[in-house]
A and B are shown apart, each in its own frame.
Chain A
Amino acid sequence: MKEKIWLALPAALILGLLLISTAAAQDPTPIPPAITDDQVNAIARQMFCPVCENTPLDVCPTQACAEWRELIRDELAQGWSEQQIKDYFVQRFGPRVLGAPPASGLNWLVYVVPPVIFLVGLFLLYRAYQGFRGPAVVPAAGMPTAAESDDPYIKQIEEELKKQ
């Protein structure tokens, strides 16, 4: 009988440990996924902090920018999409935070004016090129053409050109 108890005790202990570890594995509280710096910076590099102008958020060394990056990390951990995060930042800190201004209102000019200026420039270049070639010369009525010229030198040139 005593031998059976000595055998049953370790078995019960092992069984108990197994049950505890299984229960721990089935803990209903999900562990939030770890958000990497790369994930944060992928969004941060598209934004700018108004405090330090012209420095993208991913490389800005100020405390304000560090806090903004932490905010991005928190929002990513909550499952927010990139667009949701950008929208939040615009609503909260204004459209200046975006690397590219939203295409609305007068901002449209930023997207429309440069291509228009480029096209106008191309057109002007074309016009200038046409001008360099010189205007089309049409002999006025009654004026002799080169072929009809009495100048022997001109005649000779014309004949040489015909031979070629």
Chain B
Amino acid sequence: MATEIEDANGQATVERSRPRWGLMLAWLGLAALLILLFFGLLKAQRGQMKVGEKAPDLTLTSFDGQTYKLADLKGKVVLVNIWASWCKPCEAEAPFLETAWRYYQPRGDVLFLGVAWTDTDKKSSEYLQKFDITYPNGPDLGTRIYQAYRSTGVPETYIIDRNGVLAYAKISPFESPAEIQQAIDGVLGK
């Protein structure tokens, strides 16, 4: 479709009208992309999880086939430790975690869950045997737990209170069993 208009010299020029629907579609597409980009950036910029946030639900199937779902563990204090067999600081804190677990296990209201991140089953098993770890451990399938907890490396430890709220976060290895005990007692005493 063409429209005849007159220019400043009195000459008529032909201006072709643009297909309006195409333009609208292009703007809509661009707006949709920008919205997606905005939410993507927002998600990426959230940073680490903060104490007081509701802990994301997690499902862990341990190497011995037991399934643990955080939502089913209300009423218990849950310590989630994310580790990898190739991670040296994880090795350093592994005996401390096991010592702490053996201290709290008889109570029954504290549960430790070990999450093996980007690890092979063979190496994970060797690691668990090496440190004689007895609390439940399982692979982080699809690295879903790592992503849900917005982790930034290993080791990282989260302590979730009886109501499923993040009560403590440690973004580095524990230095002693006493440090773990202090953290758990703080959550138990709330």
B-binding residues in A (CB < 8 A): 49-51, 62-64, 67-68, 70-71, 90-96, 106, 109, 113, 116, 120, 135-140, 143
A116–B30 Cα distance when bound, in Å, is: 11
Closest chain B CB from A72 CB (angstroms): 10
List the B side residues contacting A70 at CB < 8 Å. Answer: 120
The answer, among B10, B12, B142, for a CB contact under 8 Å with A138, is: B12
Determine chain A's interface SS by DSSP, over half rule.
helix
Closest chain A CB from B158 CB (angstroms): 19
Contact A136 B13 (CB under 8 A): yes
A162–B1 Cα distance when bound, in Å, is: 34
The answer, among A51, A135, A139, A143, for a CB contact under 8 Å with B15, is: A135
Given A50-B143, A106-B36, A109-B36, the answer on whether A137 and B13 have CB atoms closer than 8 Å is: yes
Given A64-B84, A91-B142, A113-B33, the answer on whether A51 and B12 have CB atoms closer than 8 Å is: no
The answer, among A51, A106, A139, A143, for a CB contact under 8 Å with B118, is: A51
- With both beta carbons as reference points, the residue of chain A lying nearest to B5 in the complex is identified as A135
- With both beta carbons as reference points, the residue of chain B lying nearest to A113 in the complex is identified as B33
A137–B85 Cα distance when bound, in Å, is: 77
B17 located at the interface, meaning its Cβ lies under 8 Å from any Cβ of chain A in the complex: no
List the B side residues contacting A136 at CB < 8 Å. Answer: 13-14
B26 located at the interface, meaning its Cβ lies under 8 Å from any Cβ of chain A in the complex: yes
A93–B140 Cα distance when bound, in Å, is: 8
Closest chain A CB from B110 CB (angstroms): 29
